[in-house]
Structure 1
Amino acid sequence: MTLSSNQRRYDIDWLRNLAFLILIFYHIGMYYVFDWGWHIKSAETFRWLQEVMILTNTWRMSLLFFISAMALSLIEKRYSIWSLMGLRTNRLFVPLIFGMFVIVAPQVYIEARAQNLIPEGFWSFWVEYINPNTDLLKEHQSIIGLLTWNHLWFLPYLWIYSLIVLVIRPLLANVIGSRFFQNIPFVVAFICIVVGLLLVYLTLRLAYPTTHDLTNDWYNHAKSFLIFVFGYTFAQQMRWWNTVIAKRRWFLYLAILGYLFIVADRNGAFTWLAEQYEGSIAVRGLYGTIFIINLWAWIFSLVGYAGQYLNRPAKFVSYANKAVLPWYMFHQTLIVMLAWYLKPYNLPTFFDFLLILSGTVIGCLIGYEIVKRTAITRWLFGLKHS
């Protein structure tokens, strides 16, 4: 199947929506997984769940940055730079601010209640939550007090990366449009992006662990922005895209091998190697190379299979394209609230999971149906004017 840049890219729509759908299952998993801190934890947790969640943990957010950059690249010719900046701000920054003040607040409240740090009463808590000078929970505050973005951290990162790319858009257009760039074989591009991420891994990962706090998250920034720029250029290089589709099976095999290595390493199969990680740059380089190739193998296998089988319209995609941002904003707060109110009943885990999952999906459905009906709520949740 050969693709051209003039086609409507339904496969990218599918991937974006499915990637956000994975977040629902992942964040429900965080409630039940053993030894991974989260806002609230089930009384019964499972060690084996770590091995399931690690399957997507290494690439799910990178996939979102990659796809988001591709989508930006594919629509940019329809708008001026300033129009795109305005659209991105309305789509990302406005929902972020509203989400921090309103949507995320119950998560912070329930987390504090679960640890018996505050008395009952959400509204009195919320007044302190939005007050940057509050004395409540001092040890949990940042420079803006208790106000936080929690799971919405992706929005400010994506907004800033988009603005940077739009500012340098003329330079990127010259590079992408050059004959030299268009003639670069995919294998060369693949090697370059792996080497680029490996340099980031070796120089920044240990010094700057991922924090999602924007200001001191340099490893995450360098990694995510490099992936974002590569996604932007990848979308306009049809030869690369067609190669990924043609080689999708090989990328899937490579991805599975990478996952098996990671699971085996986590379970002590390579203890003699892991013990040298911090003291040997060669060992760190080996691990970094495996992790990075694994990341790209999953991304390219998904892009390849989507390009082969999902580049066609569907009712699900038409609905999800409009609903995905409100669903993203609502889902984790719904999960935390449902987990909190169900926890005292000590239900069997399977039924507890089904109730949280179904309640989250129903809540997102109802929430989207409500917010899409007025101009002000559409704006606050990043929806286009109807």
Structure 2
Amino acid sequence: MDVNKTVRQYDLDWIRVIATIGVFLYHCSMFFNPFPWHVKNNTIDTSGILVFSLFVGVWIMPIFFAISGMNTIHSLTKRSTFTFLKERFIRLGIPLVFGVFILSPPQVFIERITNHQFSGTFLQFLPTYFDGLYLDIGGNGNFAFSGLHLWYLLVLLVFSIVALPIFKLLPQVKKFSGFHFLLLPFILFLSGVINTLGLGGWDLVFYFIIFIYGYYFFSSATFKPALKSNYKKLVVIAIITSVIYIVWFMIGLPVAGSIQDYLFYGVKVIACWSWLCVIFSLAAKYLAFSNRFLTYSSEASMPFYVLHQPIIVFIGFLIHDLSWPILYKMIFLILSSFSIIMLIYHFVIRKINILRILFGLKGNYR
């Protein structure tokens, strides 16, 4: 493998930090938009907040899987296969299990009582947590085996195991050419015919392809130069397809299986692909550096991700029936949730070894 690939790419760290904030804001928006969620505000927004949700939802989880694929090649370059898998089980599996048994029950409880599916206290609810599998919001099962928002950790762990034989067999991409800007999104579009399990706006197969792309294509030394030469075109395409997707969605979704439905999906795929390329291009140009803030926030990103949704759901539950205007609630939800998460991380999680491990960090804090 190219030794240059072992060099730390700070732009990827910045993207991960920014994307983590993006997920936080996206889940705050879920409290107000029309989509099903664990707890909803008493007044729903179908304008600005919905537009934000649609825009961010197109690319936010795909970029996590793209970065994960890119980081995988760096990890396998420096580690044996056994060490790589061991680290993945520790850094992903332990926070996932912690989330399933500690962080998920309060969220499911809040969902059940706000939807009038359960009446009683949290302690009375706990024995019912293992009654059936939690498969979707508003369902009947309570056991959130995927950790709710932590499904990303579960899926990434599975992808890391399943993809290893593929990574060992297929050769690395030597040159990322303009042809790939057409071929790769086309393959993503074709994946739409396979329906397995939809999570975060996309199917698992779509995420797996993005993960593979991160390893083989986005990690190529010629990827960023190719982005630079096509940047202006990608920005225009990203903006146009995003506008079409959002307007089309708000006017009304096409009938499933119709030609319009395939066109709608194609627009969404192109918007996702274009924004991934634009984000990687901007980060390579402006964020190829490190500082104290990046060092701190890069380590904080995993605990922040694990902790953010339970806090948002809890704060949302406290204010969902208040008669405040949406704008006031939104500001309060964002500021209070962010402050609580960061206070818990800074003064508690990062200083206690067992908590560091439970939240996906290495131990031995000094």
CA RMSD of aligned residues (A): 2.5
**Kept after mapping to 2: 8 A contact 1:244/1:304:** yes
1:123 offset after TM fit, Å?
2.2
Tell me, in whole angstroms, the C-alpha distance in 2 between the residues paired with 1:126 and 1:11: 43
1:291 offset after TM fit, Å?
2.1
1:244 offset after TM fit, Å?
1.1
User: Does 2:363 align with 1:380?
Assistant: no
Equivalence for 2:99: 99
User: Does 2:348 align with 1:348?
Assistant: no
Aligned to 2:249, which of 266, 277, 281?
Answer: 266
User: Does 2:168 align with 1:195?
Assistant: no
Cα distance change on mapping 1:6 and 1:94 into 2, 3 Å? closer
Tell me, in whole angstroms, the C-alpha distance in 1 between the residues paired with 2:197 and 2:98: 28
- For 1:118-137, list aligned pairs within 5 A: 118-130=118-130
**1:190 alignment partner AA:** F
Equivalence for 2:152: 154
Tell me, in whole angstroms, the C-alpha distance in 1 between the residues paired with 2:86 and 2:235: 38
**What secondary structure, in the 3-state scheme, does the structure 2 residue paired with 1:311 have?**
coil
Cα distance change on mapping 1:344 and 1:29 into 2, 3 Å? same
Structure 1 stretch 36-45 or stretch 366-375: which is displaced more? Answer: 366-375
Tell me, in whole angstroms, the C-alpha distance in 2 between the residues paired with 1:16 and 1:83: 23
**Kept after mapping to 2: 8 A contact 1:132/1:146:** no
Aligned to 1:182, which of 162, 174, 183?
Answer: 174
Equivalence for 2:198: 210
**What secondary structure, in the 3-state scheme, does the structure 2 residue paired with 1:182 have?**
coil
Q: Deviations over 1:141-191 (max 9, x none)?
A: 17xx4655211111100111112223433213xx11xxxx414x4222222
Tell me, in whole angstroms, the C-alpha distance in 2 between the residues paired with 1:30 and 1:379: 29
Cα distance change on mapping 1:157 and 1:171 into 2, 3 Å? same
Equivalence for 1:278: 257
**Kept after mapping to 1: 8 A contact 2:63/2:276:** yes
**1:278 alignment partner AA:** G
Cα distance change on mapping 1:23 and 1:368 into 2, 3 Å? same
Structure 2, unpaired ranges of 5+: none
- For 1:1-386, list aligned pairs within 5 A: 5=5, 7-33=7-33, 35-48=34-47, 49-130=49-130, 140-141=140-141, 145=143, 149-172=147-170, 175-176=171-172, 181-183=173-175, 185-201=176-192, 203-205=193-195, 208=196, 210=198, 220-268=203-251, 274=254, 278-280=257-259, 283-369=260-346, 370-386=348-364
**What secondary structure, in the 3-state scheme, does the structure 2 residue paired with 1:105 have?**
helix
**2:210 alignment partner AA:** I
Tell me, in whole angstroms, the C-alpha distance in 2 between the residues paired with 1:53 and 1:7: 35
Cα distance change on mapping 1:334 and 1:192 into 2, 3 Å? same
**Kept after mapping to 1: 8 A contact 2:132/2:140:** no
**What secondary structure, in the 3-state scheme, does the structure 1 residue paired with 2:61 have?**
helix
1:58 offset after TM fit, Å?
1.5
Tell me, in whole angstroms, the C-alpha distance in 2 between the residues paired with 1:109 and 1:101: 13
**2:29 alignment partner AA:** G
**What secondary structure, in the 3-state scheme, does the structure 2 residue paired with 1:186 have?**
coil
Tell me, in whole angstroms, the C-alpha distance in 1 between the residues paired with 2:124 and 2:337: 26
1:80 offset after TM fit, Å?
0.6
Identity %: 23
Structure 1, unpaired ranges of 5+: none
Tell me, in whole angstroms, the C-alpha distance in 1 between the residues paired with 2:139 and 2:273: 38
**1:204 alignment partner AA:** I
1:359 offset after TM fit, Å?
1.6
If the length of structure 1 is used for normalisation, what is the TM-score? 0.85
Tell me, in whole angstroms, the C-alpha distance in 2 between the residues paired with 1:162 and 1:78: 16
**Kept after mapping to 1: 8 A contact 2:96/2:146:** no
**Kept after mapping to 2: 8 A contact 1:11/1:310:** yes
**1:157 alignment partner AA:** V
Tell me, in whole angstroms, the C-alpha distance in 2 between the residues paired with 1:335 and 1:30: 10
Cα distance change on mapping 1:139 and 1:310 into 2, 3 Å? closer
Tell me, in whole angstroms, the C-alpha distance in 1 between the residues paired with 2:189 and 2:125: 44
Who wins on radius of gyration, i.e. which is larger? 1
Tell me, in whole angstroms, the C-alpha distance in 1 between the residues paired with 2:280 and 2:144: 39
**What secondary structure, in the 3-state scheme, does the structure 2 residue paired with 1:362 have?**
helix
**Kept after mapping to 2: 8 A contact 1:85/1:163:** yes
Cα distance change on mapping 1:131 and 1:278 into 2, 3 Å? closer
Tell me, in whole angstroms, the C-alpha distance in 1 between the residues paired with 2:283 and 2:58: 20
**What secondary structure, in the 3-state scheme, does the structure 1 residue paired with 2:198 have?**
coil
Tell me, in whole angstroms, the C-alpha distance in 2 between the residues paired with 1:146 and 1:70: 29
Cα distance change on mapping 1:373 and 1:294 into 2, 3 Å? same
1:22 offset after TM fit, Å?
0.5
